[in-house]
Structures are given as C-alpha cells and as structure tokens.
Amino acid sequence: MTVPLAIDARSLARHYGEGNRRVDALKNATFEIARGEVVAILGPSGSGKTTLLTVLGLINPPDAGSLRIDGHEVLREGARVTNLALFRRRYLGFVFQRSNLIPFLNALENVQLSLELDDVPPREARGRAREILTSLGLAERLDYVPAILSGGEQQRVAIARALVNAPAVVLADEPTAALDSERGRQIMEIFRRAARERGAAILFVTHDHRTLDLVDRVIEMEDGALTVRAGGST
C-alpha cells in the first residue's frame, strides 16, 4: 500500500476583484508534497503566498483546480462546509505570524483545548498537551498565560497546538517573522523534527534565507505563479 501524498494540487487558481481591478493572486498552481517534507515558500510581498496557504487550508475557495489532502479530494462539488470544517481540524494545522493564543488560558490549556474540540476526553487531552509542550522545551511553562511567555515561547505553544492533532499538513504563514534569527532557527528545527517524527508535511512562508538549509524544497512565487526548486543546498 502506498502512502498518499500530503498535498496533491492541480491547476489551482484564485483571483480577487473584477475588470481592471482584477488580481490573479494564484495561477495554475500544480505541485505535490509528500508526508515528511519541509517546504519553504519564498516570494515578494503580494506574490500570492498567503493566498496559496489559505487555499490549501480550505479557508479560501479557489476558482478552479483540484486538491487532494492525504488522499482525500477536498474541493469536490457538494462537499458541505461542515465537513470541510471537520476535515480542517483533523488534517490541517495552522501557525500564523503571531501566535493567536487564547489570552486567558495557560499554555497547557491552549493546547488541550484544541484536542477537546476534537472530542478527545479531557484527561487524555491534558496528557498529550503536556507531552508535546515538554518535547518543545516548555515543561516549565505549562501554567503560564501567553502574556508572560516570550515571543519565541508563544510561537512554540502555537506550534504545539498545530501539531498535537497529528495533522497531515502544517501550514505556517511567516511563523518566524516576529522572532530573532536564533529563535527563528529553533522553530525551523522543530518543524524539521515534526516532519521526520510525525510524518507531517510542513509548508511555510518565510523571508529568512538563513533557514533554507533545513528545508527539502523551495517554492518560489511571483505574480501568483509558482516555480519549484530543490532546497537544502544553500
């Protein structure tokens, strides 16, 4: 039995606006990403990186194309929104530029909540949340609320929250932008490890060329178009 591709995207397209305001933010995007791969998306501001991630994240419906995630066709006509919401929780993890943690919950509760939303019983959710936070070096921070965590710690809690459901795909939009280069590199190493140990495909937008030695491939975007090149050699 072959393992399905984490992402199998064919001719995805998305535009905004009409007439002379029309912007083709994503054009004819065709690419595959296997489980266990770490892929960086590079490109100037406005080139369509966020559009690509939100289309893959089932947040932004494309105009055309097909998309399989972990072997499941997700854009099929008639797929109901409720199913997509459930699918998103099961198969996808999101990390943003800012951690978007719930301010009145501590680190442990923030991660635990994401499991409980997926019907994991509280006791088990607590154990799994503690385990993943510990593996990301946050054992001493479990009962800290976001406001008293550093930026790098907040981002690691957000990553724990994204990874704890064991998603097939993690989508991260400039996850290291608010961090210094050492903390940024730490985040990259966490992604690398998550890909290897959990078999997740990691797709992240970055401007930081210094972290590209840790990726398998680079997707470059310009004016909504993609070019894919091998990574890991810079």
Q: Which does 25 bind (CB under 5 to 8 A by kind): Mg ion, ligand ADP, none?
A: ligand ADP
Which runs of consecutive H residues, i.e. helices, occur in the chain?
Answer: 49-56, 81-91, 107-116, 122-135, 151-163, 181-198
- How far apart are the C-alpha atoms of 84 and 88, rounded to whole Å? 6
Report, in Å, the least distance between residue 8 CB and ligand ADP. 21
The burial of 212, by beta-carbon neighbours within 10 Å (0-12 exposed, 13-18 middle, 19 or more buried), is given as middle
Q: How far is the CB of 210 from ligand ADP (least distance, A)?
A: 20
Pairing between β-strand 7-16 and β-strand 64-69 as defined by DSSP bridges: antiparallel
CA distance 177 to 97: 6
Q: Which is nearer to ligand ADP, 142 or 204 (CB)?
A: 204
Q: Does 50 bind Mg ion (CB under 5 A)?
A: yes
Task: Find the shortest distance in angstroms from Cβ 206 to ligand ADP.
Answer: 11
Residue 184 in the binding site for ligand ADP (CB under 6 A): no
Q: Which stretch in 3-11, 44-52, 86-94, 152-160 sits in contact with ligand ADP by CB under 6 A?
A: 44-52
Q: Identify residues 9-28 at the interface with ligand ADP (CB under 6 A).
A: 16-17, 23, 25
How big is the site for ligand ADP, counted in residues (CB under 6 A)? Answer: 12
Q: Per-residue x/- marks for Mg ion, 111-140, CB under 5 A?
A: ------------------------------
The answer to whether 169 touches 91, Cβ cutoff 8 Å, is: yes
- The least CB distance from residue 129 to Mg ion, in Å, is 29
Question: Which is nearer to Mg ion, 96 or 144 (by Cβ)?
Answer: 96
User: Contacts with ligand ADP in 46-65 (CB under 6 A)?
Assistant: 46-51
> Is the separation of the CB atoms in 210 and 45 below 8 Å?
no
For residue 226, how far is the Cα from the chain centroid? 18
Instruction: Give me the residue whose beta carbon is nearest to Mg ion.
Output: 50
Q: Which residues within the stretch 119-158 sit at the binding site for ligand ADP (CB under 6 A)?
A: none
Q: Does 171 bind ligand ADP (CB under 6 A)?
A: no
State the Rg of the chain over Cα. 18
Helix (H, G, I), strand (E, B) or coil at 46: coil
Rounded Cα distance, 89 and 118, in Å: 7
**Interface contacts to Mg ion, rule CB under 5 A:** 49-50
